[in-house]
Structure 1
């Protein structure tokens, strides 16, 4: 009888766990369904048929002048979505009574704003009051990725613009100095998984970084060692040449270095570099600090297309973080200014 009772209790426990998993799946499916219902691929098909073509033209025009603008626009999407969600609040100008997001310290080196402003002006001329700045950025980020060698994805649209932008809230943006636990938690706070984080980190295969973002790893790692021991000595020496300590105080905001050996082309060499201890940021190199993330990084290093597909899926997910839809927010007439 005692054995029978234990067996019944075991079955009850197993049944309870199964029911919890089923309920979790139902909740997740419900959330995904709601998110997909809120945004729609082809949202402007009838409202403004040439919207995507106009945005693509502006991105390409800027890219022909400066290929680095593509990385800037991809980063812009990230920085917008991590503060108040993907609501275009990063475009709003500061006022005498409010310092806006784009003027906060973490955003001082952002690029690509003018591309979005120009696209908005063109769209207002043909479809006034139709496209949000948040949606324009989502399309521009996709187009920037494609121009840099990434894969194309359909952009779910229908976002509306937020009316609040505060520099004090950019603390939500992960820092280059974050370790694996910190950066994982930062993404989780936005509904993104650790796997999403690893895939999105690959955006560091393009673009540039200001020296001040990582020079602590070269000259002031901790009280025991000047250089980060987790940084390849030869790579560290190359970085010291580009970012000499003697010039840091004078040119702190202007000295830059490429994030990768191919800073204009999206490829998975970023992940291969991690295994050579050549990740530029602490947050980059930290992807090897767990078996799970290291295995995912190794998979991407070996399969470029696999990473590009996962990156596209993660960007779609990122672009749906805390979006405003329906009657929420507004369609800003000028991306820089809240409607009166």
Structure 2
């Protein structure tokens, strides 16, 4: 076992022996779920990798950290559909802030928004914001569109401990997904 941790977040032991790839290929990132996926598409994508709805909701909590460029959520704040400019699932003042950060004719390459209001802290704020309609990606907001996933979001929003426990369990499960070529002697260096 090897202990891994995230900055300020939970720690967990990961079994040694996972096969890693030798090179990174951009084509492999196309297999990742898109930020525009609905709950059914997300569930299908995770199920193809042997991950459950519980894993989906827990691992989505990783969006408690980080930043999103305007291009990744522009579809929600400008010309959402033929009837509405803004995604109606967005809380109105939150949507207005996103529109200010990412105007229609945005030219700033680094413009965007934090994924949650504490982007450098591994906490359950992400789930609290989902329940308020303050998510950056429509795929995140879709987690509150089914009764079972919304119940998990609510559970994690009310308990940092439950979120971290589920996150660790799902990270360990995800680490067992096969697909690499070699077991590395040092995880940072190709053998």
Instruction: List alignment gaps of at least 5 residues for structure 1.
Output: 1-40, 43-138
Corresponding residue for 2:161?
305
Which of 173, 183, 188 matches 2:32? Answer: 173
Which of 57, 68, 81 matches 1:222? Answer: 81
Distance 2:143 2:183 in 1: 38
SS in 2 for 1:257: strand
More strand by share: 2
TM normalised by structure 2 equals 0.90
SS in 1 for 2:84: coil
Corresponding residue for 1:318?
174
Which of 116, 138, 145 matches 1:260? Answer: 116
TM normalised by structure 1 equals 0.52
Instruction: List alignment gaps of at least 5 residues for structure 2.
Output: none
Tell me if the contact between 1:202 and 1:270 (Cα under 8 Å) persists in the aligned partners.
yes
Deviations 1:12-67, CA, capped at 9 Å, x for gaps: xxxxxxxxxxxxxxxxxxxxxxxxxxxxx15xxxxxxxxxxxxxxxxxxxxxxxxx
CA-CA distance at 1:330 after TM superposition: 6.1
Which of 304, 310, 329 matches 2:182? Answer: 329
Distance 1:161 1:287 in 2: 30
Pair 1:275-2:140 in alignment: no
**Structural RMSD (CA):** 2.2
Pair 1:199-2:58 in alignment: yes
Q: How does 1:1-340 map to 2 (within 5 A)?
A: 41=1, 142-143=4-5, 145=6, 147-148=7-8, 150-163=9-22, 165-247=24-106, 250-251=107-108, 253-324=109-180, 329=182, 331=184
CA-CA distance at 1:267 after TM superposition: 1.2
Aligned length: 191
SS in 1 for 2:68: strand
Structure 1 residues 153 and 236: CA distance shift in structure 2, 3 A? same
Distance 1:305 1:278 in 2: 22
Moved over 2 A (4+): 159-171, 328-336
Distance 1:302 1:282 in 2: 22
Deviations 1:310-340, CA, capped at 9 Å, x for gaps: 101111111111155xxx536489968x77x
Structure 1 residues 333 and 156: CA distance shift in structure 2, 3 A? closer
CA-CA distance at 1:291 after TM superposition: 0.6
CA-CA distance at 1:240 after TM superposition: 1.2
Greater Rg by CA: 1
